[in-house]
């Protein structure tokens, strides 16, 4: 298996996106460059295929949910204002 060659343009583009993700900080060019080069040279892990979801028959529908009984609202009587004498 051969290792793909990574050119400076690819590293520069990846470093640019790292710089954008970090909020465009100043003075971190070398850090972004080395991180981009490392990310591009590290082989990607192969993804595992997802398990297929069990097919549900279209005719089978979910039963409607029962509504909870509504409790009657109770109101408290308002306090009367005392009349000034």
pLDDT value, residue 24: 93
- Give the span between the Cα atoms of 79 and 7, in whole angstroms: 81
DSSP string for 66-82:
PPPPPPPP--PPPPPPP
- Give the span between the Cα atoms of 82 and 80, in whole angstroms: 6
- For residues 23-52, give the mean pLDDT: 87
Query: What's this model's pTM, rounded to 2 decimal places?
Result: 0.48
- For residues 48-74, give the mean pLDDT: 67
Q: How confident is the model at residue 49 (pLDDT cuts 50, 70, 90)?
A: confident
- Give the span between the Cα atoms of 14 and 19, in whole angstroms: 9
pLDDT value, residue 6: 85
């Amino acid at each position: 298996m051969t290792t793909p060659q990574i050119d400076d343009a690819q590293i520069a583009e990846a470093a640019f996106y790292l710089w954008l993700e970090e909020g465009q900080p100043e003075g971190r060019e070398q850090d972004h460059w080395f991180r981009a080069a490392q990310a591009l040279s590290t082989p990607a892990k192969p993804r595992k295929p997802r398990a297929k979801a069990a097919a549900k028959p279209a005719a089978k529908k979910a039963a409607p949910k029962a509504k909870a009984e509504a409790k009657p609202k109770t109101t408290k009587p308002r306090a009367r204002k005392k009349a000034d004498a």
